Amino acid sequence: MKSLAVVFSCAALFEVAIAQASAWAQCGGVSWTGATTCVTGYTCSYLNAYYSQCIPSTSTVVTTSVASTTTTRSSSSSTGVVTSSSTRSTTSTTVSSTTSSSTAVASGGPRKEVGKLPALGWNTWNAYGGDINETKILNAANAFISLGLKDLGYEYVNIDDCWAQMARVDGKMVPDATKFPNGISGLATTIHNLGLKIGIYSDAGLTTCSGFPGSLNYETVDAETFSGWGIDYLKYDNCNVPSEWNDSGNYADWTLSKSYERYKRMTTALNAVSRPIQYAICNWGNAQVWTWGPQVGHSWRMTGDSSETWSYIQSAITNNANYLDYVGFYGHNDMDMMEIGNGDLTIAEIRTHFAAWAFMKSPILLGTDLSALTAAELAVIKNTELLAFHQDATYGAAAKQYKVTSPPEYYSGQSSKGYHVFIINFTSAASTRTITFSEVPGLAAGVSYKVHDMWTGSDLGTFTGSYSASVASHDTLAVLITTA
Ligand SMILES: *[C@@H]1O[C@H](CO)[C@@H](O)[C@H](O)[C@H]1NC(C)=O
Ligand SMILES: *[C@@H]1O[C@H](CO)[C@@H](O)[C@H](O)[C@H]1NC(C)=O
Ligand SMILES: CC(=O)N[C@H]1CO[C@H](CO)[C@@H](O)[C@@H]1O
């Protein structure tokens, strides 16, 4: 297996070859601008609309069948909303009495000791790809403290793919001892001693996206291993699913799909271990995951992998705007990990990236070398008012479109502080935007409102009927509105 470890070297994953994509690298998908052909011996294979990957040409690994996003979206029904929200209200009533750490909810859904609010933290992938080790992860954990992020609620320090040895030992996953000289359990202890939580990664297939052991058919032993190491969060990917686990076309009820069954097996396994582990489904928005996600995990990815581009941010927002009714306590649409600090996003684009992930209540997992963040970028990720909206323990719903436009620009929602409006300017020039109070649910014409800027933390004045302001290109207006 040593030679395989070289072939599948995760360091290679991080490089985006100009001419040809490297082994296991991305080679296509919505808004992908890199290479679309693979190095010799690998073939570019379609995984979903957002992600094609270079897999070995001779590989017997079969990727999951993918319902087209267009099909799945158009057939999304309001039934799913009713199901998921009734699941939530049933289970939330049991929360207060659910204090035993091993108590699973009656429905068999995800545990309720964790995951009420969208996760706030960091993950290795967007910063380092597979080129990870203990030092880099501890640096991020220490930066949470030195930069004041821990005090603002950032808590999860998550390991993505490429932490394991290529082969199981006695049926169990084993950490790569070079990358993790103290094992994952040693790292977990250090991170817990800092007052933070630690996440890990596996895959609902035979192997992970980078070729390391997957958890399909090993759900129980892997959940026990993770719990024993002190893991607090699991990201569960969707690569290398064997063909007998393919979904067979479209289902009227996607809880009958193989996808559901693969992910639900891990729910059952996690519910049986002593440690509460937050469960992040990562099946890239396939199989209408938002309709069954609340019964299975605490969050579910809505797209393929993010990229450090404005086009990805715009597409993730535009897509998720259609599914915000599925978001609530213990269940969150995941727009994928943050790209703040990566690429050449403008500060306006960074503001919109952060604001939209916050007001749509997506998990916010930073994905960069935190020590390299600029003061302006830090100010965005430390915005206390957006973080308060994201982490509001009283109001679980996302801000939603109150006025339908294409692309979707106008959102409103409620928090413990009052009503909020968020307006994104998706186009390429600044323009004046107006909040007409009678259009916003909860507000009315003929009432005087105090309008407060969530970016600067300052009051903008008292207004009746409407409030207007200039919104820069790709920027987001974010205001709190309370009765004057
Ligand atoms: C499973 O899905 C893959 C990828 O879509 C496809 O190539 C393969 O033919 C499918 N296998 C079966 C048995 O349906
Ligand atoms: C992790 O990688 C960095 C950068 O390559 C290196 O400086 C550090 O010593 C490595 N740590 C471990 C534990 O391998
Ligand atoms: C939300 C917003 O302000 N959108 C505007 C962005 O700028 C263009 C002009 O280029 C306007 O047409 C949009 O209405």
Q: Please check whether residues 161 and 302 belong to one and the same domain.
A: yes
- pLDDT at position 51 is 63
- pLDDT at position 9 is 43
pLDDT tens sequence across 96-155: 333 333 333 335 899 999 999 999 999 999 999 999 999 999 999 999 999 999 999 999
| 123 closest CA partner among 181, 172, 163 | 163
Higher pLDDT, 133 or 41: 133
What is the rounded (10 degree) CA torsion for 13, 18, 21, 22?
-50
Does residue 174 lie within any of the structural domains? yes
Q: 271 falls in which pLDDT band (50, 70, 90)?
A: very high
Higher pLDDT, 281 or 74: 281
Q: What is the mean pLDDT of residues 73-94?
A: 29
* Helix segments in 287-410, DSSP class H: 289-296, 310-320, 347-359, 375-381, 384-390
- pLDDT at position 49 is 61
Distance 470 CA to ligand 3 centre (A): 9
Please give all residues whose beta carbon lies within 6 A of any atom in ligand 2, as ranges: 133-136, 179, 181
**How many structural domains comprise the chain?**
3
192 lines ligand 3 (CB under 6 A): no
243 lines ligand 1 (CB under 6 A): yes
Task: Please list, in sequence order, all residues whose beta carbon lies within 8 angstroms of the beta carbon of residue 188, skipping any fewer than 6 positions away.
Answer: 198, 229, 230, 231
Higher pLDDT, 14 or 144: 144
Q: Ligand 3, from 403, 406, 426, 427: best to mutate by most atoms within 8 Å of Cβ? A: 427
Q: Which of 352, 376, 398 corresponds to the end of one domain?
A: 398
What is the rounded (10 degree) CA torsion for 191, 194, 195, 196?
-40
User: Encoding tokens for residue 283?
Assistant: 């099946």
CA 301 vs CA 323, 349, 362: distances in Å? 12, 21, 9
**What residue's CA is closest to ligand 2, atom 9?**
135
| 137 closest CA partner among 180, 195, 166, 201 | 180
Q: Please check whether residues 394 and 311 belong to one and the same domain.
A: yes
Q: Which atom of ligand 3 is nearest to the CA of 409?
A: 1
Q: Which atom of ligand 2 is nearest to the CA of 181?
A: 13
Q: Please check whether residues 349 and 458 belong to one and the same domain.
A: no
Question: How far, in Å, CA of 409 to CA of 109, rounded?
Answer: 34
- Domain housing 45: 25-56
Higher pLDDT, 56 or 158: 158
434 lines ligand 3 (CB under 6 A): no
Fill in the amino acid letter for 322. N
Residues 373, 149 contacting (CB under 8 angstroms): no
Question: How far, in Å, CA of 411 to CA of 390, rounded?
Answer: 14
Residues 302, 290 contacting (CB under 8 angstroms): yes
Does residue 278 lie within any of the structural domains? yes
Is the pLDDT reported for residue 17 higher than 60?
Answer: no
Residues 126, 342 contacting (CB under 8 angstroms): yes
pLDDT tens sequence across 320-340: 999 999 999 999 999 999 999
- pLDDT at position 101 is 33
Question: How far, in Å, CA of 417 to CA of 139, rounded?
Answer: 35
Does residue 160 lie within any of the structural domains? yes
**What residue's CA is closest to ligand 1, atom 2?**
65
CB atoms within 10 A of CB 180: 20
Q: Which helix (H) or strand (E) holds 45?
A: strand 42-48
Distance 28 CA to ligand 1 centre (A): 19
334 lines ligand 3 (CB under 6 A): no
Does residue 98 lie within any of the structural domains? no
User: Which of 11-20, 322-331, 472-481 is predicted least confidently?
Assistant: 11-20
Q: Ligand 1, from 243, 259, 286: best to mutate by most atoms within 8 Å of Cβ? A: 243
pTM of the model: 0.80
Q: Please check whether residues 381 and 447 belong to one and the same domain.
A: no
Q: Please check whether residues 238 and 276 belong to one and the same domain.
A: yes
- pLDDT at position 107 is 53
Distance 60 CA to ligand 1 centre (A): 11
Q: Please check whether residues 316 and 460 belong to one and the same domain.
A: no
pLDDT tens sequence across 393-420: 999 999 999 999 999 999 999 999 999 9
Does residue 12 lie within any of the structural domains? no
Q: Please check whether residues 288 and 318 belong to one and the same domain.
A: yes
Does residue 62 lie within any of the structural domains? no
Which residue among 237, 325, 334, 475 is the active-site one? 237
| 281 closest CA partner among 337, 238, 318 | 238
**Ligand sitting nearest the alpha carbon of 410:** 3
Task: Please list, in sequence order, all residues whose beta carbon lies within 8 angstroms of the beta carbon of residue 202, skipping any fewer than 6 positions away.
Answer: 173, 208, 214, 215, 222, 234, 235, 236, 237
What are the helix and strand counts (H, E) for the chain? Answer: 14, 19
- pLDDT at position 47 is 60
Fill in the amino acid letter for 175. P
Q: What is the mean pLDDT of residues 450-458?
A: 98
Q: Which of 363, 380, 398 corresponds to the end of one domain?
A: 398
Is the pLDDT reported for residue 6 higher than 70?
Answer: no
Q: Please check whether residues 260 and 333 belong to one and the same domain.
A: yes
- The answer to whether 459 is a known catalytic residue is no
Q: Please check whether residues 309 and 331 belong to one and the same domain.
A: yes
Q: Which of 398, 433, 456 corresponds to the end of one domain?
A: 398
CB atoms within 10 A of CB 461: 10
Question: How far, in Å, CA of 423 to CA of 478, rounded?
Answer: 7
Q: What is the mean pLDDT of residues 462-466?
A: 98
DSSP code, position 273: S
Fill in the amino acid letter for 190. T
Q: Please check whether residues 126 and 269 belong to one and the same domain.
A: yes
Q: Please check whether residues 150 and 294 belong to one and the same domain.
A: yes
Where residue 479 sits, what CATH number does that domain have? Answer: 2.60.40.1180
Which residue among 161, 232, 305, 325 is the active-site one? 305
Q: 186 falls in which pLDDT band (50, 70, 90)?
A: very high
- The answer to whether 176 is a known catalytic residue is no
Question: How far, in Å, CA of 146 to CA of 150, rounded?
Answer: 9
Q: Ligand 2, from 135, 137, 163, 179: best to mutate by most atoms within 8 Å of Cβ? A: 135
Distance 434 CA to ligand 3 centre (A): 11
Helix 258-271 and helix 289-296, axial crossing angle in degrees, nearest 10: 20
Q: Which atom of ligand 1 is nearest to the CA of 244?
A: 13
Is the pLDDT reported for residue 60 higher than 80?
Answer: no
Is the pLDDT reported for residue 87 higher than 70?
Answer: no
- pLDDT at position 306 is 95
**What's the mean per-residue pLDDT of the chain?**
87
Distance 162 CA to ligand 2 centre (A): 15
Does residue 7 lie within any of the structural domains? no
What is the rounded (10 degree) CA torsion for 439, 443, 446, 447?
-150
Does residue 61 lie within any of the structural domains? no
CA 325 vs CA 76, 81, 170, 233, 254: distances in Å? 11, 7, 44, 24, 18
> Which residue's structure tokens are 């990201």?
235
The 3-class secondary structure across 353-366, one letter per residue, is HHHHHHHCCCCEEE
Q: Please check whether residues 422 and 317 belong to one and the same domain.
A: no
